[in-house]
């Protein structure tokens, strides 16, 4: 194949001139391209292993011998993950719809726009690589507990997060984890504990927003017998119980200022004084705190102690919201679906393309936690995230085509981060046309983007 790393494309067309021009154009745009005139030749070569499976196969639908539908069937039999794009002539829409039912990735009507073909192939290559990533993730999960199976994602931010967690796990420095609700702050805290030298000792989580101020000291620091009415026996507090391990202070921004002073002293001295006692007890504890707010700003507004903030933030780990790493949504959803299906003892349900499109374009204000809940509902058969294209598909040919058009628009908008201009360029249509189609299908850009 000629070209470079944008993706490997195999083109099948019995029209020699069209085949040559298509290969030349795709090669010039950065794809590794090979052209073949007969469908039977493609299946013969791929079936014997003489050629590696391409990232995407483009085939004419009407050819002598094996037509495009037969090629599609044969390729899907050899490798279900290989996307197949069909080129159709005028009047072949019914065949194209049949092909979509059979698993085709997309179809283009001749004469097609060259830039539109490139955009379709880019999406197909991304789908192919995503399928490989999901397969690799399942193998890693089957192989045991690793950072990759705890902190899932191939986005650059997640790769960097795993690298930093691996480096910090064996370090005793306190860590502040910053992230929106549902981004996985406790998952990161547990990873810091479980993959470090303290893993054999307790991991104690304290939700600072859930423990009432009136009993916070007795719960966290413990108390001696007779310290207050009802204290019949000495009780070890959570900090002392965690000796040798890790204490996770979740939602620390919710801690009252009076208690912040006591926590600051604990962080500085690494000693606890139970209520009713007069003797300090040394503790060997690593502290990991988590917040969903900007503690530095809160300190500047006197809503949080500045000295406690600087003591906590020796190292800060920032978790990006799910909407900023949408490429990881299919990986995460697949992982959660597999786990939920195993937990409930049911088969893993299929994921229709329209549902995947809806997942990719949803706002996800609740981040990974919300996605996990949606995966659970998907397994149980009660999803809340209904694809916006469902109303278009009334079973008729025009309805199916409208549903498919809406699906492609949603995918393009998701890939463009909600930018109508970028999505229009990727789809190869004017921005005004895309805006009209969005209105017709009831679609909107992601409200988190400009």
SS (H, E, C) 223-289: ECCCCCCCCCCCEECHHHHCCCCEEEEECHHHCCHHHHHHHHHHHHHCEECCECCCCCEECCCEEEE
Over range 158-183, report the average pLDDT: 94
| Confidence grade of residue 253 (pLDDT, cut at 50, 70, 90) | very high
In the chain, which segments carry CATH 3.40.50.300?
A: 166-319
Average pLDDT, the chain: 84
Q: Does the N-terminal peptide bond of residue 111 adopt cis geometry, omega within 30 degrees of 0?
A: yes
The CB density around residue 132, as the number of other CB atoms within 10 Å, is 12
Q: Which two tokens stand for residue 35?
A: 């052209």
In the chain, which segments carry CATH 3.40.50.2300?
A: 8-133
Do 112 and 60 touch, CB atoms closer than 8 A?
A: no
Helix (H) or strand (E) segment spanning residue 59 = strand 56-60
pLDDT of res. 3:
46
Q: Does the N-terminal peptide bond of residue 80 adopt cis geometry, omega within 30 degrees of 0?
A: no
Query: Comparing 55-69, 161-175, 219-233, 276-290, which segment has the lowest mean pLDDT?
Result: 219-233
Sheet of 106-109, strand order: 32-36, 8-12, 56-60, 84-88, 106-109
Give the torsion through C-alpha atoms of 326, 331, 334, 336, to 10 deg. -80
Rounded to an integer, what distance in angstroms lies between the CA atom of residue 10 and that of residue 2? 11
Using the structure block, give the residue that is written with the tokens 């067309």: 13
The DSSP string of 177-199 is EE--TTS-HHHHHHHHHHTSTTT
Query: Which of these CATH numbers, 3.50.50.60, 3.40.50.300, 3.40.228.10, 2.160.10.10, describes 166-319?
Result: 3.40.50.300
Do 270 and 247 touch, CB atoms closer than 8 A?
A: no
Rounded to an integer, what distance in angstroms lies between the CA atom of residue 285 and that of residue 220? 13
| Confidence grade of residue 448 (pLDDT, cut at 50, 70, 90) | very low
Using the structure block, give the residue that is written with the tokens 């045991």: 144
Over range 269-281, report the average pLDDT: 85
Over range 167-196, report the average pLDDT: 95
Q: pTM higher than 0.75 for the full model?
A: no
Phi then psi for residue 225, to 5 deg, are -60, 130
| Confidence grade of residue 399 (pLDDT, cut at 50, 70, 90) | low
Q: Is the pLDDT of residue 119 over 50?
A: yes
pLDDT of res. 90:
63
Provide the β-strand partners of residue 246. Answer: 203, 286
pLDDT > 90: percent of the chain: 36
**pLDDT tens sequence across 334-344:** 999 989 998 98
Do 335 and 137 touch, CB atoms closer than 8 A?
A: yes
Helix (H) or strand (E) segment spanning residue 36 = strand 32-36
pLDDT of res. 91:
63
Do 54 and 23 touch, CB atoms closer than 8 A?
A: no
pLDDT of res. 283:
94
Q: Which two tokens stand for residue 66?
A: 């094996």
Query: Comparing 102-111, 247-256, 264-273, 366-375, which segment has the lowest mean pLDDT?
Result: 102-111
Q: Is the pLDDT of residue 423 over 90?
A: no
Do 275 and 227 touch, CB atoms closer than 8 A?
A: yes
Question: What homologous superfamily is domain 8-133 in, according to CATH?
Answer: Response regulator (3.40.50.2300)
Rounded to an integer, what distance in angstroms lies between the CA atom of residue 204 and that of residue 289? 12
């Amino acid at each position: 194949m000629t070209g470079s790393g944008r993706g490997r494309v195999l083109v099948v067309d019995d029209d020699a001139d069209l085949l040559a021009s298509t290969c030349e154009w795709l090669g010039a745009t950065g794809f590794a391209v090979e052209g073949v005139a007969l469908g039977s030749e493609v299946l013969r070569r791929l079936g014997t292993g003489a050629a590696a499976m391409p990232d995407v196969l483009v085939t004419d639908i009407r050819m002598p011998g094996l037509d495009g539908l037969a090629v599609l069937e044969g390729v899907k039999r050899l490798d279900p993950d290989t996307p197949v794009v069909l080129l159709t002539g005028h009047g072949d829409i019914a065949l194209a719809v049949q092909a979509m039912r059979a698993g085709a990735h997309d179809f283009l009507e001749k004469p097609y726009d060259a830039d539109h073909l490139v955009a379709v192939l880019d999406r197909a290559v991304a789908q192919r690589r995503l399928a490989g990533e999901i397969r690799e993730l399942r193998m890693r999960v089957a192989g045991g507990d690793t950072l990759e199976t705890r902190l899932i994602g191939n986005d650059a931010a997640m790769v960097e997060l795993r690298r930093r967690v691996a480096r910090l796990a064996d370090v005793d420095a306190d860590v502040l984890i910053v992230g929106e609700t549902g981004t996985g702050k406790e998952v990161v805290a547990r990873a810091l504990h479980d993959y470090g030298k303290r893993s054999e000792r307790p991991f104690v989580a304290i939700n600072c927003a859930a423990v009432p101020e009136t009993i916070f000291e007795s719960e966290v620091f413990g108390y001696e017998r007779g310290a207050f009415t009802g204290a019949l026996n000495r009780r070890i507090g959570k900090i002392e119980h965690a000796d040798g391990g890790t204490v996770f202070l979740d939602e620390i921004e919710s801690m009252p200022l009076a208690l912040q002073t006591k926590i600051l002293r604990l962080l500085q001295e690494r000693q606890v004084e139970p209520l009713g006692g007069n003797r300090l007890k040394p503790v060997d504890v690593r502290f990991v705190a988590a917040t969903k707010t900007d503690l530095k700003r809160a300190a500047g507004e006197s809503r949080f102690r500045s000295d406690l903030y600087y003591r906590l933030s020796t190292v800060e780990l920032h978790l990006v919201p799910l909407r900023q790493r949408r490429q990881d949504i299919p990986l995460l959803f697949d992982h959660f679906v597999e786990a939920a299906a195993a937990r409930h003892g049911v088969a893993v349900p299929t994921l229709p393309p329209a549902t995947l499109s809806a997942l990719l374009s949803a706002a996800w204000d609740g981040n990974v936690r919300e996605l996990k809940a949606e995966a659970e509902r998907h397994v149980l058969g009660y999803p809340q995230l209904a694809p916006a294209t469902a109303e278009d598909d009334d079973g008729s040919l025009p309805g199916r085509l409208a549903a498919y058009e809406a699906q492609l628009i949603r995918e393009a908008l998701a890939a463009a981060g909600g930018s109508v201009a970028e999505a229009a360029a990727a789809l190869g249509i004017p921005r005004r046309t895309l805006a009209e189609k969005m209105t017709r299908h009831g679609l909107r850009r992601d409200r988190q983007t400009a």
